[in-house]
Amino acid sequence: MNEEILAVLKSILEALIYTKRLDKYDLAVIALRKKPLLCSKDIMVLFQVSMRTVERWRRDKTVPCKYVNGKPFHTWAGIQPLLDEKAEDIKKKLLKKNKKNSNNSK
């Protein structure tokens, strides 16, 4: 009985931690949505990757960019396919985690 209660409490705590992280991310996305052009730091925040990854994406043309006064900028239309792909990955992970948790609770 105690193990069941601990398992439920653990899952509630994990959900709260995930929700808190999600809220911070959502607020960042809302703030970035107001910008017509995104700089490399914005891309880092949006995708939660390093500057090196952003540079590699730019070099490999994974994320298209336009240069203004020698500084690279990205448009929402250019990064939308990557955002859609990231959203699908998150959905898959959540479904997998939910299935795993439901199997463990049986």
Residues 40-43: contacts with CB under 8 Å, at least 24 apart: 40/72, 40/74, 42/74, 43/74, 43/79
pTM above 0.75, yes or no: no
Instruction: Tell me which of 8-12, 15-19, 38-42, 43-47 is least confident.
Output: 15-19
Write out the H or E segment, with its range, that includes residue 67: strand 66-68
- Cα separation, 70 vs 47, in Å, equals 23
- Cα separation, 103 vs 41, in Å, equals 40
Q: What is the pLDDT of residue 57?
A: 93
Does the pLDDT value for residue 22 go beyond 70? no
